[in-house]
């Protein structure tokens, strides 16, 4: 158990819908990262927040957005869902904003029907 | 753009045998990570290699880093069934105010008894 928690574990929804994935980092960690894992794209970095501020952005679609709240938990919002958005979404956390070991949560499996 | 390549992508081996997984990356980096993932589960941090020549061992797994060759290896000694999993290497990709991990495609390891 890494200490990073994610909810929900599974999410099944329909195309065109909007969902919110939630992540709580390990105690003491200020950075939160979101990654998407799919069979065709592998593990892809989406976005990083540090202490409430966006710090790095990857290949995140415009339909996706994220934020980190004052209590350091983070939410990833996915809207206008498409079949291709079906994937495992991981949250990771680390102490700092730069080169620190990232600890991964259990993931949220999103299925878009 | 930083690219991380692992080989082999699939490895089927007998219990008791030795084998090595290779991880090449395309641009300079002084930190490399190895993660393990069981099917449908999270990524578990195995090793963090911080400098050229770094070698770390945990049980039957040993990881090394050659930053000049941009190569890391994960050596498996006397494999046992419990080592069956997918192994990922990942490299830090610092960005202006943050950081991301760039992952290899993963090596699926199956240890047969």
Q: What is the pLDDT of residues B33-43, one digit of tens each?
A: 999 999 989 99
From the CA of A107, how many Å to the nearest CA of chain B? 6
Closest alpha carbon to B63 in B45, B80, B75, B79: B75
The model's confidence at residue A95, banded by pLDDT at 50, 70 and 90, is: very high
pLDDT number for residue B90: 96
CA–CA distance, A89 with B48 (Å, rounded to integer): 23
Q: Report yes or no: A59 at the B interface, CB cutoff 8 Å.
A: no
User: Which of A6, A31, A45 is the best substitution to test chain B (most B C-beta atoms within 10 A)?
Assistant: A45
User: Which of A50, A56, A90, A103 is the best substitution to test chain B (most B C-beta atoms within 10 A)?
Assistant: A56
Closest alpha carbon to A20 in A33, A31, A11, A30: A11
* Cβ-Cβ contacts under 8 Å, A45 against chain B: 100-102
Closest alpha carbon to A88 in B43, B40, B55, B67: B40
Q: Are B43 and A90 in contact (CB under 8 A)?
A: yes
Q: Are B83 and B76 in contact (CB under 8 A)?
A: yes
Residue B3 clears pLDDT 80, i.e. is over it: yes
CA–CA distance, B26 with B2 (Å, rounded to integer): 6
Q: Which residues, in sequence order, are CB contacts of B69 under 8 Å at separation 6+?
A: none
From the CA of B27, how many Å to the nearest CA of chain A? 16
From the CA of B103, how many Å to the nearest CA of chain A? 6
Q: Which residues, in sequence order, are CB contacts of A85 under 8 Å at separation 6+?
A: A78, A110, A112
Q: Report yes or no: A26 at the B interface, CB cutoff 8 Å.
A: no
Q: Are A30 and A97 in contact (CB under 8 A)?
A: yes
Residue B59 clears pLDDT 80, i.e. is over it: yes
Q: Which residue has the higher pLDDT, B39 or B74?
A: B74
The model's confidence at residue A99, banded by pLDDT at 50, 70 and 90, is: confident
The verdict on a CB contact (< 8 Å) between B35 and A2 is no
E runs forming strands in chain B: 4-7, 10-14, 19-25, 32-37, 43-49, 55-58, 61-66, 71-76, 85-94, 99-103, 107-112
Q: Are A43 and B88 in contact (CB under 8 A)?
A: yes
pLDDT above 70 coverage of chain A, percent:
100
Across the interface, of B31, B35, B96, the residue whose CB is closest to A99 is B31
CA–CA distance, B37 with B7 (Å, rounded to integer): 16
Closest alpha carbon to A47 in A105, A89, A100, A109: A89
Q: What confidence tens digit (pLDDT) does each residue in A12-65 have?
A: 999 999 999 999 999 999 999 999 999 888 999 999 999 999 999 998 999 999
DSSP state of B15: T
The verdict on a CB contact (< 8 Å) between B45 and A101 is yes
The pLDDT mean for chain A works out to 95
Compute the count of residue pairs across chains A and B with CB atoms less than 8 Å apart: 67
């Amino acid at each position: 158990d890494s200490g990073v928690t994610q909810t929900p574990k599974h999410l099944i929804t329909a195309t065109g819908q909007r969902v919110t994935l939630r992540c709580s980092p390990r105690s003491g960690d200020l950075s939160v990262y979101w990654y998407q894992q799919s069979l065709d794209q592998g593990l892809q970095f989406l976005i990083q927040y540090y202490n409430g501020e966006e710090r790095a952005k990857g290949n995140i679609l415009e339909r996706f957005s994220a934020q980190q709240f004052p209590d350091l938990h983070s939410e990833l919002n996915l809207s206008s869902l498409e079949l291709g958005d079906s994937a495992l979404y991981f949250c990771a956390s680390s102490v700092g904003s730069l080169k620190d070991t990232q600890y991964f949560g259990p993931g949220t499996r999103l299925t878009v029907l | 753009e930083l690219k991380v390549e692992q080989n082999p992508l699939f490895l089927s081996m007998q219990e008791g045998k030795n084998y090595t997984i290779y991880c090449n990356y395309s641009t300079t980096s002084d930190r490399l990570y190895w993660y393990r993932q069981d099917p449908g589960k999270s990524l578990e941090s195995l090793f963090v290699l911080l400098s050229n020549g770094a070698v770390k061992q945990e049980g039957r797994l040993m990881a090394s880093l050659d930053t000049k060759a941009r190569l890391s290896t994960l050596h498996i000694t006397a494999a046992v069934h419990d080592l069956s999993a997918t192994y990922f290497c990942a490299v830090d990709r610092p960005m202006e105010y943050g950081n991301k991990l760039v992952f290899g495609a993963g090596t699926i390891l199956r240890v047969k008894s």
